[in-house]
Amino acid sequence: MKKSLLLLLCISSSCLAAEPLAERQIEIRALVQNTCGGCHGVGLDGGMGPSLKPEALASKADDLLITTITNGRKGTAMPSWKATFNADEIAWLVSTLKSGK
C-alpha cells in the first residue's frame, strides 16, 4: 500500500481499527460481562477492579486502555487479553466501553 493511502487511513498518528463482525461483537460483549465483571463488577461499575463505565474511562487515553487490555497490569489481577482479542477487537472494545454502547 502506498504511503499516501496509509496516511489517509490514519488520523492523529492513530490508525483506524476495523470493527469486528456482529457475531464477534456479541461474543466480546458476553465475555466482558461474564469474565471482566468478576473484578470490575457485574454492571462494570467497579469492584476489585475499577469501573469500566464511560464516565470513569472518559479521562483515560485510549492508548493507555488498549495497552492495559493487551498486556494486563503486572502486580494486579488484570491479565493480558492479547491471546483472546486481536488489536482491532481491543480498539473496538475500548471505543465501545468509552461510549457506553
Pairing of strands 10-11, 14-15: antiparallel
In this predicted structure, the answer to whether residue 9 has a pLDDT above a threshold of 50 is no
How far apart are the C-alpha atoms of 36 and 94, rounded to whole Å?
13
Q: Does 66 or 13 have the greater pLDDT score?
A: 66
Domain 33-101 fold is: Cytochrome Bc1 Complex; Chain D, domain 2 (1.10.760)
pLDDT band at 13 (very low <50, low <70, confident <90, very high): very low
In this structure, are residues 38 and 46 in contact, taking their beta carbons and an 8 Å threshold?
A: no
Where in the chain are the domains?
33-101
pLDDT digit string, tens, across residues 37-82: 999 998 999 999 999 999 999 999 999 999 999 999 999 999 999 9
Q: Which residue is listed with cell 489481577?
A: 77
**Three-state secondary-structure class, residue 66:** helix
